[in-house]
Structure 1
Amino acid sequence: MIKSNYFTDNEDLQLHVDRFIDWNELVELYEDGFKDAQEYERTGNERLAYAPSNVSEAVEYYKEIFNGYGDLAGNEVSQIAQDMDARGLEFQDGKVIYPEEIEAIYHKFHDAGLAATNYKRKYGGLGLPQVAKAISHEILYRADSSIGIALACVNLAAILEVYADEDMRNTWIPRLIEGKYTVTMGLTEPDYGSDLPAVKTKAEQIDGKWYLTGVKRFQTMACGMNGSPGVILALARTGDSDSGARGLSFFLVESKNYEVLGIE
């Protein structure tokens, strides 16, 4: 594949970023009065050190991230994509083995601070608006969709910012941002995919702990990566069997005590 910066060499993306996107309107709405920058001035919280304080700074901040994605995608991912595709995944004794190249580049994005596009800055994320996330991911998907999916899956857990309590957010989100876990949504079951209110995986609370029993299917990255664990955001039934959608709850599950039945 072509070796270059996949952001700076893409005239179409440059046109969108420089001329088509109304950054003034978008940034003013998304940055919400530039509260992160104000919070940094008050507290010195290093997680907010790069928070923009005006529209111009915000656009430059987003462009720096695009450039980082373009560099890693075009100069590194693109050069190993064919070899990774040829090797593929291995399945041994209920475990999935990833090519070493995938593992290395996955952690390289995390180490560069580029993986956590969806998370707020106060948790260590990049705090990007949706348009900027889409541009970042498009750059990476040009080089290799499997790496793009692996990194995008990490950002699924941004749902914790909305629905988890503060203790869970402060405990788990930084771990996920650091790349210590892969992430998947545990929704689909053998007989229930789009009909989520009918899922059968059961959650029972015993002595203050929750135990989940059931089978999930098509769980991208649920197995972790070569020894590192995964986090499964699992939908399970806490109500009666006929309780429908109202009887479902959402759990954060570490990938322990499980077996991978096969890879697709």
Structure 2
Amino acid sequence: MASANESRPVIVGVDGSEASTHAVQWAAAEAHARKVPLKLVHVIDTENDFPFVADDLEEEEAFGRDVLKAAREAATIEDYTIDIEVELLRGRVNRAFVDLSEHASLLVVGSVGTGFFARMLLGSTALSLAHHAHCTVAVVRGADGSPVPPSSGPVVAGVDHSDSADIVVGAAMQEAAIRHTDVTAVHARRRRGSQEADEEARARIDRLIATWGAKFPSVQVETVLAEAGPTKHLVALSSGARAMVVGNRGRGGFESALLGSTCQSLLYHAQCPVIVARTRVTT
């Protein structure tokens, strides 16, 4: 699905945990479908409050090489036609991945882990990636905090009135095409709107769907206008979704989707991978 000029890799962070293994397998399917390389990256956090001594660093590097070897094996379980690269880095984790994202088509991380990913969703790194990454970010998770992503259900797209709606719909339809499923496009508002406002919202979503439908003709889309708050409605729908796509900024119903507590709620409580769409899909 990548254009001739779009060959930036799918980059996935690995740490040896079960969560990162599932993130690698999820990312491998993305790379195969997009016809781009898969890059596996392990970062040794050498900029923390407890500096490594030489023996510790040597041990961490040996562990990192083992982690990358196992991740490569996980990426090749399916018979995908992809080039796989590996990289072992030192530095601050969030800064390393933000820098890497400048040269990626998609940045993928697991939802829980043994090392830095365990802290990622408990601290600031996930928010940092959502706000500062130069590409779309996917946090792979399953139901009830499981690292296993669901294998059925539609892709749910949170659509608002902002310019990011076009990016979100395109990313959702691309993801649905990759996963051979449908899209549920949701416009959630905090209070009941007028019939005129509802018709305007539906018409705008229909125009976006028509535009992207020409590029992803196999994907069927259902539009839902919901009165529940955006976080509550998205979390509820995620229990039956294959993935959830939201924008990195917006106004109206999804204005706070990636700001403060709402973002953290989605990352903690969504029952499927959460995809933060930052860049427009190219086909």
Which has the higher Rg, Structure 1 or Structure 2? 1
Q: TM-score, normalised by structure 2?
A: 0.30
Greater share of helix residues, 1 or 2?
1
Could you say which structure has the greater relative contact order, defined with CA pairs below 8 angstroms and 6 or more residues apart? 2
Greater share of strand residues, 1 or 2?
2
Q: TM-score, normalised by structure 1?
A: 0.32
